[in-house]
Amino acid sequence: MTDKTEFEEESKIWLAFWCCEGLEAMISVSEYMDRSKQELSEKIKTGTESRRNAESELNHVINGMQIRARMNGNRNYELYTFNANASMTQAQLREWFECAPQLAVDWIRKNGKCFLKKYDSSNKVIR
């Protein structure tokens, strides 16, 4: 077992969904992943599957975001996943978006992975 240095801190995976009007959702993907691991462990132990499935729930959330982006193309939606320090909370990430939205968007675009980017070229917004 290796010890982590101060630079190799634990991280969480987040899903950020925003448009030209601001942040709409910040979801901890890591929490869904942890639940999914627990559900798999329980399924192996008991041989039965739970009614609620973390992976399915996350897929429904993402599908809902994609539909929202398609139906509101003029709002220039973006959906990204990114890693952040495990000590960061959802409230802290939301505050970052509120205080410095362009900085937050630029950092996530640079360091995250694009899941969806829907631009209406006729509408000039945060780019």
Domain with 80 in it: 11-117
Q: Any idea of the CA torsion for 22, 12, 118, 68, to the nearest 10 degrees? A: -70
Q: What is the pLDDT of residues 49-86, one digit of tens each?
A: 777 788 899 999 999 999 999 999 889 999 999 999 99
Q: Is residue 73 part of a domain?
A: yes
Question: pTM (2 decimals)?
Answer: 0.80
Q: Is residue 1 part of a domain?
A: no
Q: Is residue 82 part of a domain?
A: yes
**How many domains does the chain fold into?**
1
Q: Is residue 92 part of a domain?
A: yes
Instruction: Give 89 or 125, the one with higher predicted confidence.
Output: 89
Q: Is residue 64 part of a domain?
A: yes
Helices 29-46, 54-71: crossing angle, 10 deg rounding: 140
Q: What is the DSSP string of 99-119?
A: H-HHHHHHHHHHHSEEEEE--
Instruction: Give 107 or 123, the one with higher predicted confidence.
Output: 107
What was the pLDDT predicted at 118?
A: 77
Q: Which of 24, 25, 28, 33 is nearest to 14 (CA)?
A: 28
- Which of helix, strand or coil describes residue 72? coil
CB 29 within 8 A of CB 14: yes
